[in-house]
Amino acid sequence: MNLNFITSQISSICSSVWNCIISLDPKVISTIVSIIALAITALTLYANTKNNKKNNFDNLFFHLISLLNKIIISSENNSEKVEITLNDIKKQNKAQLETLKSQKIKEYYEQHKLAVNSGFVELENMYLKIESKKLEKIKKSNNTTDTAIPIRKSEFLSPIDDLDEINTSDRSQVYYSYCQNNTTDEALNYPFDVSDNGIETLLRMTSFKSNPSLAIYNIFNSDGEISQFKANINVLKSKYPQNETIDKINIELSELFLHKNMNIPSEISEDMKKDIVNDILLDNKHGSYFRTVHRILKIILDFSKSEAVLNKYCGILRTQLSERHLIILFYNAQYTDRGKKFKNLVAKMNLWGDNSELDVGANSDAIHFATNNLIWKDKDLKILKEEYVRK
């Protein structure tokens, strides 16, 4: 479109408007001017008020930030003290989880005690039969040897009917040395290099007599004990190559007491978590820290009319806090009665990050804290994404 034409049109419109104005009654013109002046005054006042509100907010916000910085370096709320609190929670969690596991292992053992008893009794009696044959062979032999051979005393060679009868006493009481056809000389005591009954050794090592359920669990879930059990199986298979029962016992017990087949809890319940965190934080530990952050977040939320403003001031707050300070805020919000109102407030603010910042992969971690510092890592991350990310 021609520029001269547009210019002429604008000039014509302005001329028409001006002619209309000057044709009006002077009183009307005065009224219009008054209205325009009032509007300009109102706009100026609004702009000044808005600017004053921002200045007032900034003054309060940075005053509280300054106060927060003093609090988080105080002797009661510094990073080291917060870490101690988090470690107290971890210790209580570990203790309660161990108790849960022990209860489950004991219950499971009692349910399958018959299979354990039957299998281990049969393996033990195979060993005792080997020892009996060894003793008889040596007694009948006229050969002599310069090497001390461990021989099981005859009173400890009787087959057992129940696993409770298994002998796990000091080996010097069970064996004596055979040397140069002498099987009774007390001076030839139990030698240090003896290889004795492998099943008894395994049950003695795992303290079967004092805690049978835990001993059986460890035999099939701890690398060293698993290796020793398998070694015993191989010894017995070499001595009894036609006996298919040995493999059957091995497979049955190994599968039965495999950790993944026992439904042993890997984490305590949510109620137990709340009890632990509540108890540890109930003594007003870090109370001034929690209250100050709550106040800061509240004024941010009240002032922010846009997501950009909210993110800006939350970001400023976050940069003041160590990872430990961030993490303990989460546990206060999620697991304490006192933190319920704080949770309702902070859930709208992405304080720990948005979904992308909380996304954890094989080669990446959360942006604002190391997820390994979380006590219940997988569950906590899930909660943070579901309950603390702004929708």
pLDDT tens sequence across 265-305: 999 999 999 999 999 998 777 999 999 999 999 999 998 88
CA-based nearest residue to 356, from 346, 347, 348, 367: 367
Q: Is the pLDDT of residue 316 over 70?
A: yes
Predicted confidence at residue 192, as pLDDT, reads 40
Tokens of 40: 């300009």
Tokens of 167: 């002998």
Tokens of 75: 């002797």
Give the orientation angle of helix 270-281 with respect to helix 79-111, to 10 degrees.
140
CA-based nearest residue to 298, from 60, 50, 55, 71: 60
Tell me the per-residue pLDDT of 333-344, one tens digit each, with 9 for 90 and over: 999 999 999 999
Highest mean pLDDT, choosing among 54-63, 183-192, 279-288, 293-302: 293-302
Tell me the per-residue pLDDT of 236-252, one tens digit each, with 9 for 90 and over: 999 899 999 999 999 99
For the entire predicted model, the pTM comes to: 0.74
Predicted confidence at residue 180, as pLDDT, reads 46
Predicted confidence at residue 40, as pLDDT, reads 65
- Distance from CA of residue 175 to its chain's centroid? 48
Q: Is the pLDDT of residue 140 over 70?
A: no
CA-based nearest residue to 151, from 190, 106, 102, 99: 190
